[in-house]
Amino acid sequence: MERASAQPDFWNDNVAAQKAMRELTALKDEVTTWRNLARGAQDALALLEMAIEEQHAETAQEIETETAALEKQLSALEFNLLFAGEFDRNNAILSIHAGAGGTESQDWAAMLMRMFLRYAESRGYQTDIVEETPGEEAGIKSVSIEMVGAYAYGRLRAERGVHRLVRQSPFDANHRRHTSFALVEVVPEVEDAAEIEIKPEDVKVDVYHASGHGGQNVQKVSTAVRLTHVPTGIIVTCQNQRSQLQNKEFAFKVLRSRLIEAEIERKELEKMRLKGKHVEAGWGNQIRSYVLHPYQMVKDHRTEHETSRTDLVLDGDLDAFIEAYLKSQVGQI
């Protein structure tokens, strides 16, 4: 790739050249990281041999500390090898949709939004809420969040599916136990996708006033944009950018990403069918249950991973669940 980038005609196609340079930079960074780790291990080994010869206890303690740091870094790098998908390195667009149940489910959707925003914060991801539809009394009906950071899609794709909450309802005067559902969708953010062609005649574009809580219009000018992809029925809305043009551009980016995700899912389902696996999708198949009453438990139904620390999970501590899912998928598809 370095030889190719040095050719006189490399920048003739500016878009392709920029993409190649980003890929080259990412590969260089990855190779450099592994080489530095190997060098650190070699240096520690050489230092250990000297400490043994000289019987130097303080140096041995220093090597022990350094070795622990090397092992921690190696473990993190080995986990990154699980991200073998074409778009796993990409940013992600995460959407949450409240299920049936009115205020109860809308409040659950808001709890999930907070959980994922806290998770993104813990990983150093930048977030931008690009579309949000408030609930009628509390919570949200739906929200779409752009997550920007290394392996954002690779990690968050583990959260796709239906999330189920069981608790005593704060909206029920009798404090009865309620079950709520919310659907989480995650698509990769794709800057260019030559294989996905969006024909102008296939997209219906509507513009409207952005709305706030209670349904009131928050802008006098119609800046919010809704795209409807007629062949697939996919609907994308964007209202949080500064202008109608920015909302439209971002909505098309999301539409392109969802079309790519739909194609990825189609291929995965076909592979599973060929392997003889039963494939079923829908609201009835929750991936995870969050039980707050009569006991405390979060359980992932795909991996059987569970914890009683519901407070930590709802505060964004999702790494154990995500890692368990990714490890369970090795060699599956």
Domain ranges of the chain: 2-80, 92-328
Q: Give the separation between CA 51 and CA 238, rounded to whole angstroms.
A: 62
Three-class SS of 75-120 = HHHHHHCCCCCCCCCCCEEEEEEECCCCHHHHHHHHHHHHHHHHHH
Domain with residues 92-328, CATH architecture: 2-Layer Sandwich (3.30)
pLDDT of residue 6: 92
Cis check for the bond before 294: say yes or no (omega within 30 of 0). Answer: yes
Q: Are 179 and 166 in contact (CB under 8 A)?
A: yes
For the beta sheet containing 161-168, the strands, ordered from the edge strand earlier in sequence to the opposite edge, are 126-134, 140-148, 92-98, 177-188, 161-168, 286-291, 297-300, 306-307
We find that the CATH architecture of domain 2-80 is Up-down Bundle (1.20)
What is the β-pairing status of strands 140-148 and 92-98?
antiparallel
User: How many whole angstroms separate alpha carbon 300 and alpha carbon 320?
Assistant: 10
- pTM for the structure as a whole: 0.75
Q: How far is CA 7 from CA 1, 11, 12, 17, 273, in A?
A: 10, 9, 10, 11, 45
Please give the average pLDDT of every successive group of 10 residues along the chain, which has 333 residues. 92 87 87 92 89 79 87 84 84 92 92 98 94 90 92 94 92 85 90 71 87 50 85 88 85 88 78 57 75 96 96 96 90 57
